[in-house]
Amino acid sequence: MVISTEHERNGIADFFTQVDPEVRKVTLAIGNIISKNSIKEITLEKSLNVMMEHCRDAGSLLAKNIVKTEYLFKYLQTYNISLPPDSSKATLIEQCLQLWRRKYGSASYVPSTSSDQPGPSSSSATYAFPSTSADSSRSSGTTLHNHIDNYNALAASSNGVFFSENTNGPGQPDAEGEPPGLEQYPVNLLALDYTVWFFLKWNRNSLDESAFWVDANCTVMLEISETQQGTEQVCGPQDIINLILSLKFQYNFQLVPNIMFDGCQGRLMDSGVLALSCGVVYNNQPGPDNRFVCLGEFETLIGLRRDPTENNNWKIRMLKLYIRYKKVDNLPALANSKMLNNCLMIPLTMDIV
């Protein structure tokens, strides 16, 4: 049993990642119930994955007793859909399904021509990213297997843990006493370490709110084609995670950074450290030939600041992500970046971070 219709998958992700803490508890509980508590560390995205893979359809999922009628009622209200307070749960579920057909598109749905169709309110978490199509999402067919292998090898060596002690000292001179190269500067080691950790978490669906400062902000720019572009800006850990979840479920890709010095560097700022990186966007699952298809490239700017209340760990205060669908023949390099040019002008320093 797999929920295969795109509008239902997007709708489920929208409903079960609401800011309401009670709904989030239900999301995690359903993940545990369906998986029979087999997932060691359950997260929102892991729960959503379980729902998508093991439920027949969105209607049967919403009909579960654990999904209270009041959750459906409040959810529809965020889209200015007002129904009588005594509406049955079946009625509310049908309204949710109709909303998702309108919002995310369905081949079998013909929208009404009425001008008073309910739509999302200004306070609801909807994201105006463009949709992909057969024409707009053509990949280059490039697989760049060595790129993925090199990244996975480095990620495996870190075992998913970010060790700040690996990046706090200056690079060591070689046996002949030569000074360390630019890639061995402490700020560059920190940027590499954190970038590997961040995208490992991203691709494993385990990035959570603890990685962000409470006042963190995030900007995502997505360019499918010259005529299909979208930008979203959010603030706060919950909204950032919601945006990431929406992005991943809608486009189903993974981000693999270029871990060479030309693709990942750091810069010191008065307020902390900037980690600059670029890389390749691949589809999330390999094809029948076990090859990942390249969809485009991305650029990332991560602003980091230590948190003295949490063992002086580095946490994200600012995240900017630019994703561009295009043909990619070679690994992207920072020197060719569109978003990071100004940051690259900041001088490198050997200062300890």
CATH assignment of the domain containing 238: 3.10.450.50
Number of H helices, E strands in the chain: 10, 7
For residue 276, which of 307, 211, 314, 321 has the smallest C-alpha distance?
321
For residues 193 and 314, what is the distance between their CA atoms, to the nearest angstrom? 11
Range of the domain at 12: 6-104
Q: Where is the domain boundary, 104, 123, 148?
A: 104
Domain count for the chain:
2
Query: Which parts of the chain have pLDDT scores under 70?
Result: 1-2, 4, 106-146, 149-150, 152-180, 353
For residues 169 and 201, what is the distance between their CA atoms, to the nearest angstrom? 25
The reported pLDDT for the residue numbered 268 is 92
The amino acid at residue 255 is: L
User: What is the DSSP secondary-structure string of 212-275?
Assistant: EEEEEEEEEEEESSSS-EEEEEEESHHHHHHHHHHHHHHH-EEEEE--STTTEEEEEETTEEEE
The reported pLDDT for the residue numbered 174 is 44
The reported pLDDT for the residue numbered 229 is 87
For residues 190 and 167, what is the distance between their CA atoms, to the nearest angstrom? 5
Same domain, 78 and 218: no
| pLDDT per residue as tens digits for the range 2-11 | 676 788 888 8
For residue 95, which of 78, 26, 107, 65 has the smallest C-alpha distance?
78
280 is a domain residue:
yes
Q: Report the C-alpha dihedral over residues 77, 78, 80, 81, rounded to 10 degrees.
A: -40
For residues 40 and 204, what is the distance between their CA atoms, to the nearest angstrom? 14
For residues 62 and 15, what is the distance between their CA atoms, to the nearest angstrom? 10
Angstrom CA distances, 236 to 17, 44, 166, 316, 332, stand at: 14, 17, 29, 11, 30
The reported pLDDT for the residue numbered 321 is 97
Same domain, 238 and 335: yes
Give the dihedral sign, CA 100/106/112/113. Answer: positive
The reported pLDDT for the residue numbered 214 is 96
Measured from the Cβ of residue 88, the count of other Cβ atoms closer than 10 Å reads 11
The reported pLDDT for the residue numbered 234 is 94
The reported pLDDT for the residue numbered 300 is 97
The reported pLDDT for the residue numbered 165 is 38
Q: Report the C-alpha dihedral over residues 305, 307, 310, 311, rounded to 10 degrees.
A: 80
192 is a domain residue:
yes
The reported pLDDT for the residue numbered 242 is 86
The reported pLDDT for the residue numbered 132 is 52
120 is a domain residue:
no
Q: Where is the domain boundary, 104, 134, 167?
A: 104
The reported pLDDT for the residue numbered 221 is 95
213 is a domain residue:
yes
